[in-house]
Amino acid sequence: MTIPDLSQLDAADPLAHKREAFELPADTIYLDGNSLGAMPKAVPARLHEVVTGEWAQHLIRSWTRNAEAAQDWMALPDRVSVKIARLIGARPDEVAVGDSTSVNTFKVLAAAVRMNAQRPVLLTDAENFPTDLYVTQGLNALLGGTLEIRRVPADEIAAHPEQHLTPEVGVLLLTEVDYRTGRKLDMGQITAQAQAQGILTVWDLAHSAGAFAVDLNGCHADFAIGCGYKFLNGGPGAPAFLFVAQRHHDAAPSFLSGWMGHADPFEMAREYVPAPGARRYVVGTPQVVGLSALDTALDVFADVDMGQLRAKSLSLTDTFIALMEPLTGQYPLELVTPREPEQRGSQVSYRHPQAQEVMKTLIERGIVGDFRTPDILRFGFTPLYHSHADVGRAVEGIRAVLEAGPHEQTTRA
């Protein structure tokens, strides 16, 4: 494998200037933005204004104050929806922002299951992210155990759709990018295969949105959910989002029918009338502080060409794989992320028998990735703030830790 020229790659990087938009510790190579994105520099000033101005000085008037200038709290979910919609190939009225990824998963799964109530099977990846599996189990318990939760490895579903996308399946829940391996599924192909059999699709975009362009409408997806604090950089616990295709708005029930999803919340009507579009899936009072941070964080994407973002993501991960290749021959490292670019998200993972100890030592040295049970070393690459030089320094740090052994204390990278 050819070793790339890192300085040449960085010199040609059209997104290099975006690094200045983020607060990054000088002594850290941060490769965990797929768990918690770095903080955009504009966020603290926005939060200061929200807390000391909008809350402290204007108090309850801030809910509807200065709507003409798009500063009212009530419309925050809608303003953030517009920004997220662009990144995931959706219309703004198909996106609702608020609550957590788990709660939004429940909302869309409950709607999809009801829409295909005559089909008793909910099919999902056997190794899906735990919250996806837990929510299916909780929903099934609420429904009295009437669902069959069928768990099949996602690669098996993709490879043998004729065996798994069968008439009894009503809903298919998959994560586009596997949280452990970084394997990326073909959303368009799988969605088409499922829908040809009358199956509704629910896509988890937790490791997709903000890492590369997603095209939900181009793929004709039915439902999706996603996270605000990973590649979208909205801060710890940032509000999540959901997507409901416009064609389903009238048929997909909102079982968590809260006040903020009403067509006219301040009418205080005693019967629920859903708001138009995806706004009906907003349940409770907007999380003003968290939404304000996410709103500002999303501004870093305003002038970003998503094609360039994807190209840089692949360049960073290609470079990491190439530089790590010699280490896989010297140490018990096994690449588990696909080499094929179209099958890869924006992370690279390796198996190692002492993965937990290795990662602990790497973090002590200032190379921050993460460990996933039982034996995965996971490294996330965020095109907006990583350089190829970062990749090179990270690999040198990994080499030093592997040479010394994971339990050795060494100086910071």
Of 185, 153, 129, nearest to 338 by C-alpha is 185
Given CA atoms 147, 148, 154, 160 in this order, what sign does their dihedral have? Answer: negative
**215 Cβ contact list (under 8 Å, min separation 6):** 88, 89, 188
- The residues that are catalytic are 129, 204, 229-230, 378
Place of tokens 């517009």: 82
Question: What is residue 262's DSSP assignment?
Answer: B
How far is it, in rounded angstroms, from Cα 254 to Cα 273? Answer: 10
How far is it, in rounded angstroms, from Cα 322 to Cα 129? Answer: 28
How far is it, in rounded angstroms, from Cα 322 to Cα 196? Answer: 40
Query: What is residue 341's three-state secondary structure?
Result: helix
Q: How many CB atoms lie within 10 A of CB 168?
A: 13
How far is it, in rounded angstroms, from Cα 192 to Cα 200? Answer: 10
**Long-range contacts formed by 98-101: CB under 8 A, 24+ apart:** 98/239, 98/240, 98/260, 98/282, 98/283, 98/284, 98/286, 98/287, 98/291, 99/239, 99/240, 99/283, 99/284, 100/237, 100/239, 100/240, 101/131, 101/204, 101/206, 101/225, 101/226, 101/227, 101/240
